[in-house]
Amino acid sequence: MNFGLRILGAAARLFGPPSGDPTRQELSPFDRNVGDAGVAAALIALGAKLAKADGVVSRDEICAFKNVFQADPDGEEGIARFFNLAAQTTLGFEAYAKIVYKKYKRRSDILEDVLDGLFHIALADGIVTDEEMAFLETTGRVFKFNERTFSRIRIAHMGRASDDPYLILGIDEDVSDQELKKMYRRMASANHPDRLMARGLPKELQKLASHKMAMINKAYAEIVAQRKEQVLAQTGEN
């Protein structure tokens, strides 16, 4: 059975018959054991329901979804049908977030990758609406991310003020140069594409690694440059 058919099988178990009302047919994810196909289905459902969060599923959001969840040609039709079914309503998205959390609750790195993918979809049309941000924040809470961690992930995609570099790396401004370099190396190692493959990240999300690495590298370079300028300024004053 190919991936697309396994996804459709999971959809049948999680959503109920395609002809039914998905808002009424969805089952609790904890009523049964959810296998890998069910987890994949939950990931796709999250992406589809996020696209629906602002009321309209745009073409840009669909394209962003396809960028995140790349399927083999023979599975595209099945996943498209599954996406359309899930996108009928945002109801039930927390249940699917819980499926993903249950699978990866000991792998916060993978949960962060999932949230990265959802931000990518939310930003596809150039703006994250209040409804989409509420969806993302709720998903972050289901994943047990604290406010600081969620803020770091959010600004990695959306930016913030001049303290962005420190927030992206998840460090305080008063850390030593040694601690700065240590945290940078840790994050760069954790987000390297080869490392993502080794830790079992679904291939649909691996292509976001280059974007995240670029943000990490940029943040580190900005901090190093800022600190060099501060040293030069202090030397000039003396």
pLDDT digits (tens, 9 = 90+) for 173-198: 888 999 999 989 988 887 776 766 66
The 10s digit of each residue's pLDDT in 19-74 is 444 433 443 443 345 566 778 788 888 888 888 887 878 888 888 777 776 655 66
Claim to verify: residue 48 and residue 73 sit in the same structural domain? yes
pTM over 0.75: no
What is the phi-psi region of residue 20: left when phi exceeds 0, alpha when psi lies from -120 to 50, beta otherwise?
A: beta
Axis crossing angle, helix 36-52 with helix 108-122, rounded to the nearest 10: 30
Using CA atoms in the order 60, 63, 67, 70, what is the torsion angle rounded to 10 degrees? 160
Taking the C-alpha atoms of residue 8 and residue 99, their distance in angstroms, rounded to an integer, is: 17
Domain of 172: which CATH number? Answer: 1.10.287.110
Claim to verify: residue 170 and residue 152 sit in the same structural domain? no
Give the number of domains in the chain. Answer: 2
Domain membership of residue 183 as a residue range: 164-238
Phi/psi at 43 (5° precision)? -65, -45
Across 137-233, the runs of DSSP E, i.e. the strands, are none
Last residue of a domain, one of 128, 158, 188: 158
Last residue of a domain, one of 129, 158, 187: 158
